[in-house]
Chain A
Amino acid sequence: MTDLRLAIQRFDPSRDPKPRMVEYTVPRRQGMTVLEALLFARDYMDHSIGVRFSCRQASCGSCGMKINGRPRLACYTQVDELGGDSVVAQPMDNYAIIKDLVTDLGSFFQKHAQVTPRLVRSDAREQDNPTKEYLIKPDELSKVLQFTYCIKCGLCTSACPTVATDSKFPGPQALAQAYRYTADVRDQGGAERIESLDSEHGIWRCHFAGSCSYVCPKGVDPALGVQLLKRHVMSGKPPHLAEEASKEYRAPQTQT
């Protein structure tokens, strides 16, 4: 098998004025993933290559990067599927570069946290000390299940054209999670989420370019969740139990 030409974008912001591409020639084998190629280069050719990874099986979401121009998980992308003898690895767009292929996902997690990504009960006491187990029927679960598969790798937000310029936009990952919890029949926090997303840099800055769903390695389809949520933002009501839930939520609360 021919060798693989692996071009890696090298950039240490504390030393380099701008990024540069460095090419490594790596022995290729069948079934080799891009992460394996990168680790070969790091272990045997240049120890200073910065690459982040953990599980090697598309479960942890650490190794998101731009491979041949598109955001992908390095561990989940085989060299063979890319075609050709060369692989170009760059850090994901829209995230600050820490070093080489390692990007800072801090703002991404912050956006995620801002949509209250958990089940909310209107009764604060119940929220803190639940009196029972909250169950969900299989058909109701199926409405939100695919969005729970998000591993927070950040590929979708890296692909999003709005995030490319709008630093205040929550991004596809956070919006899809907002839908995931708002559409859950056990949740009562939908009205509040909807209100915060119905803003200048909220959900309406999505124009359904669909790139998020195109690059998602887990089949979450964030664009679907975002569009489904838009209708409910338009009407101001959460998708399920719309009236009861919003009424109950808006009731004055004495406890915090």
Chain B
Amino acid sequence: MSVGEEKAKNRRGLSGWLNPYHYNLERWAYVFQRVTGLGILAYVVGHLGDTSFFVGGPTGTGPSSSTWAFMSNLVENSFGHLILVLVVLILVFHGTNGIRLIVSELGLVLGKPGAIEYPYKAKSLGAVQKAAIGLAIALALVAMVWTYLILFGGTI
């Protein structure tokens, strides 16, 4: 029909999920929750694979490429440890931010509806949300640094 029909639909598409620019902190948290969730799922599936090498025995009992030593050599290096540090970062963020979302989505800690006054600050996007997101970021960073020290600190 019209030449610009497709463009005219104007639905924002995946950029609405991935690009929170111009929007609120909770929107950024939404994007990170989604992205970290997918990252964790990918890691977990991979983790099923690497732990399955355990049944190949330490060394010697099976073909050498199916043993625990083989897998350990493959992942126990700086690159493997860097992945673990990042996994801890996104796990702790996803978990903490997820608790905030569950509590909020069940209508708790959001405040009660009531009379509103100009300039109409949304109650549901109040200090509790900002603090909880801040806590999620802080805990994730602490856990990441801690993991880094354990894996790269050389103390253990």
Contacts and interface: CB of A to CB of B under 8 A. Distances in A.
- A–B interface present (Cβ within 8 A): yes
Interface in B1-49: 2-5, 7-17, 20-24, 26-27, 29-30, 33-34
Nearest to A91: B10
A31 interface: no
| Main SS at interface, chain B | loop
Contacts of B15: 164
A231 B106 contact: yes
Contacts of B101: 207-208
A13 interface: yes
Contacts of A145: 113-115
A40 interface: no
B8 A11 contact: yes
| Main SS at interface, chain A | loop
Interface size class of A (residues with CB under 8 A): 35 or more
A170 interface: no
A210 B129 contact: yes
Nearest to A206: B105
B96 interface: no
A228 interface: yes
Question: Which of A96, A164, A217 has the most chain B CB atoms closer than 10 A to its own CB?
Answer: A164
Interface size class of B (residues with CB under 8 A): 35 or more
B110 A14 contact: no
Contacts of A217: 120
A55 B8 CA distance: 26
A189 interface: no
A167 B5 CA distance: 17
Given A70-B23, A95-B10, A227-B107, A13 B5 contact: yes
Contacts of B20: 209
Given A164-B16, A167-B11, A69 B105 contact: no
Contacts of A211: 23-24, 26-27
A17 B129 CA distance: 43
Given A164-B12, A165-B11, A165-B13, A227 B124 contact: yes
A182 interface: no
Question: Which of B29, B33, B34, B105 has the most chain A CB atoms closer than 10 A to its own CB?
Answer: B105
A221 B123 CA distance: 7
Interface string B99-121: 00100111100111111111011
A207 B30 contact: yes
A143 B113 CA distance: 5
A87 interface: no
Interface of A: 11-19, 68-70, 91-97, 103, 142-147, 149, 159-161, 163-165, 167, 206-211, 213-214, 216-219, 221, 223-225, 227-231, 234
14 contacts: A12-B4, A15-B3, A70-B22, A93-B10, A146-B115, A149-B116, A161-B30, A207-B33, A209-B29, A214-B122, A217-B120, A219-B118, A219-B121, A230-B106
Given A19-B7, A97-B8, A221-B116, 14 more contacts: A13-B3, A13-B5, A94-B11, A95-B10, A96-B10, A142-B113, A165-B16, A165-B17, A208-B26, A211-B27, A221-B124, A225-B113, A227-B104, A227-B106
